[in-house]
Structure formats: C-alpha cells, structure tokens
Amino acid sequence: MSLFNTFLLFSCSESETCFMSNRSKSRTGFTLVELLVVIAIIGVLVGLLLPAVQAAREAARRMSCSNNFKQLGLAVHNYHSAYNQLPTNYGGTTPVAPLNAGPGGVTNWWENSNFGNHELLSMLIGLTPFVEAQGTWEQISNPFPADTNNDGTIDITFPAMGPTPTPGGADRNYYSPWMTDLPFLRCPSDPGRGAPTMGRTNYAPCVGDNMNRWNGGKNGDLTVNNWAMGVQSRNRGFFIPRDVSKFRDILDGLSNTIAMAEIATDLNDGDKRTSLAVTTGGTYLSNPNHCEQNFLDPERPQFWIDPDSPGSGQSPGDEPRGLGAATSRGARWANARPIFATVNTILAPNKGVCADSWPENGAIAPPSSRHQGGVHILMGDGAVKFITDSIEAGNASAPMPNPGQKSPYGVWGALGTRASREVIDTEF
C-alpha cells in the first residue's frame, strides 16, 4: 500500500467527516425519469391485462348461463318422463264469471285476482319442481294468503295456480311468486334488476317460425273457436300455445328442433332487442322486418328512433312503444305472452322486437342476449348451443308461412319447426 493511501485510510478512520462525505455522494433512490418509465410500463401491462380479465369474467358468466340452460333442459325431460307430455305454454286456470257479474253485479271480474289466471301461465312454472324450486311450486300450486293492507290480517287468498301474472291491481303485487327473480332463470351477464318489472327471465320457450293466433282454444279443445285450429296449424314450434305437446310430435327430431332460447331483459332504454316497437294494421304479419327497416336510429342502429313519442307506427320516427313493464322483454317470467317470455325463429338472433297495437297476443320476438355475437339455445334433446347472429335466416321480409310451407327464414326458421321435414344435417 502506498504512503498516500495509508495516510488517506488513517485520516478517514479518525474523522467522521470523511465517512459522511463519501456516503452523501452515493445514490439513495430513483430518479424522476426512472419512476416515470416504471409507471409507464405498469400502465401498459394493466392495459394489456384488463381486457383479458374482462374476457375471462364474461367467459365464466357465459358458462354459468349455459349451465342454467342445461338444468332447464334436464327439467323439461324429467317433466316429460313424469307426465308424458311437455309443460303447457299458456296454461293455468280459466276464470268463471260469478252469477252476479255484469251490470248491477260484480264489475271487472275478469281482472279480479279471485278468478284465476286466464290461462296465461308460462311453461316455466311447470319446471319449478324439477329445478330445486319446490318451495316456489308449493306456493303456486296451493292457495296463497296475503296481507295486502299491511295491517297484520289476511285480506285476500289467491287461488291455487295464482292470479293473472300481469300488474293490474295492487293486490297482485303481494303475490310473491310472480314478483320474485328465480336464480335459475337469470343469466349472470344480464344486468336487468328490479322495477318496473315483475320477476324477470332470460330463458323462454320457442314456438317456431310463426306467431299468429296465440289465444286459440283451451287446452287443445278445437270446439272452442276457430282460432284453436289456427294455433295448431300455424304455430309449428316445439311448444304450441294452449295445447298439449309431446316428444313424439317432434317429427324432425329432438336434436334438430329448438326447444328454448335466451332473451335479454329490458333496461327501458329503447334497445331494439328488449323494447317493443309497435306497428299498426298488421304490417308485421306481411313483413316481419318492417320495424327494423323503418324505425332504427341511423346513428345508433341498436336503438329505436325517438321511442317515447306516440305515433301511428307507419313512418320512421313515428313508432309508439309501450313503456315500463307493460311491453318489456323478459319482464314477467310467469307470463306466456310473447313479448315477455316466448321466442320465435322469424328474425335472426338479436334483431328487433316488433308487434301490432295489441302486443300481448303476438310479436316478432327473436332471441337476444348480453353475450357478444350470439345467443344460447336449448335443443329438444337437451343440448345447449351458441348460435351466432350471422346464422342463415332466409328472407326476413317474407310473410308468415302457411301450414305445410317450407320456412322462408332459412336454416334459422327450419330449426324452429318441429315437423316440417326440414332436417339440418350439418353442424350449425
């Protein structure tokens, strides 16, 4: 060691000043540039990771939705095994007018909750005992006492199978089965919650490639009126309104026929998939695509033009749309009327919901969902498939097919019919 170095070492060992001076010159943290670089790298990583996390969450929700549908498919098959028929869509009890009904007697008995549900019940009700909802079924299938005045006394006892699943009197709001969201009927990707709807559903029965004459007959009794024959001949889907269906009636094969499909519930925002656009004069019968062609907002084609204004429904921007629960898609799980809990295979998935001025009895009601690019469907054999919006759907402007006619709505329409000899022999 040189004399100079020996002197320096000795000097530093004797002086704290030397040690502190050397330490003060060493680096003890990040520079501003280094910190900014680190922050930028973290931001880039978060930007790359966030879409992947969101996609993973949606994939999990979509899987959960598919599992719900599989449970409903098993329930349909178990129901058929137990009763040798499918659950009836538009089932329930028929009200009988009291002897003193009419002028001078009971008024508005048709809407009175004591007189049955007018055969408006969805087939979903019959599935409740088969999807671990026995408690709900027990409430529905037995008289249901309710305290409508909140005074601690029973004011009304709803009849077995419940009242009409439609808001109308304050008493119906106390029939809790109709007002409850059932978990097995809800898709986790759908954000719809609460008022103004009753209990919501994201799954609905399929009635095929037609939607005319919904209210014909009573449980298949063709002597009631001529509409009953129209129901049987024109409604060519898996479920026939107010009629008994069995697996043996599905001549095209269970694996070739759609039993149920997914629907998004209404957020009351004018979305064409969930908010009803109304035409007049039966326009939607001769051209199911009428509302899509005339009433969409060109700047936001997912929504109707000015949906809250009244109008005749015959020109762009002039379509009346019912507000709230009255015409909300998926708004009443127990109600079989098409706008609430029914689908048909006329327009392709995620197209607009369209009806005449009396939307309870008929509608263009395609499936819809909050998933990206398509919807889940349940085939008759219990298989759950994801159908894209681009499925071949024929001529959307073609009028309703006559009995025996090939579906004008392509592969999509053929999948909806049960016995039209339109078998799909390729994967879809």
Instruction: Answer with the residue of higher pLDDT: 23 or 33.
Output: 33
Q: For the chain, give me the number of helices (H) and strands (E)?
A: 11, 10
Minimum mean pLDDT range among 125-134, 194-203, 279-288, 383-392? 279-288
Instruction: Work out the end-to-end distance of the chain between its first and last CA atoms, rounded to an integer number of angstroms.
Output: 87
Q: Write the DSSP symbol of residue 153.
A: S
How far, in Å, CA of 376 to CA of 182, rounded? Answer: 19
pLDDT of residue 193 exceeding 70: yes
Residue 60: Cβ within 10 Å count: 12
- Long-range Cβ pairs for the range 171-178 (8 Å, 24+): 171/113, 171/146, 172/113, 174/146, 174/147, 174/148, 175/113, 175/144, 175/146, 176/139, 176/144, 177/136, 177/139, 177/140, 177/144, 177/334, 178/332, 178/333, 178/334
Opening angle at CA 123, ends 122 and 127, nearest 5: 125
Question: In this model, does residue 82 exceed pLDDT 70?
Answer: yes
**pLDDT digits 0-9 by tens, 230-249:** 666 678 889 988 888 899 99
The reported pLDDT for the residue numbered 422 is 74
- What is the identity of the amino acid at 169? G
**Per-residue pLDDT reduced to its tens digit, 279-311:** 766 677 788 898 888 888 888 889 887 654 444
Residue 314 has pLDDT above 80, yes or no: no
The CA distance from 181 to 178, in Å, is 8
pLDDT at 170: 55
Above 70 in pLDDT, residue 347?
yes
Q: How far apart are CA 383 and CA 113, in angstroms?
A: 39
**C-beta separation of 206 from 254 below 8 A:** no
Sorted by sequence, the CB contacts under 8 Å of residue 257 that are 6+ apart come out as 237, 238, 250, 379, 380, 415, 416, 417, 418
Query: What is the per-residue pLDDT across 257-275, written as a single tens digit (0 to 9) for each?
Result: 999 999 999 887 888 999 8
Report the chain's mean pLDDT, rounded to a whole number: 78
CB of 154 closer than 8 Å to CB of 85: no
Q: Give the mean model confidence (pLDDT) for residues 321-327.
A: 52
pLDDT tops 90 at residue 2: no
Residue with tokens 């005074």: 151
For residue 380, give Cα distances in angstroms to 100, 113, 212, 366, 384: 47, 35, 23, 18, 9
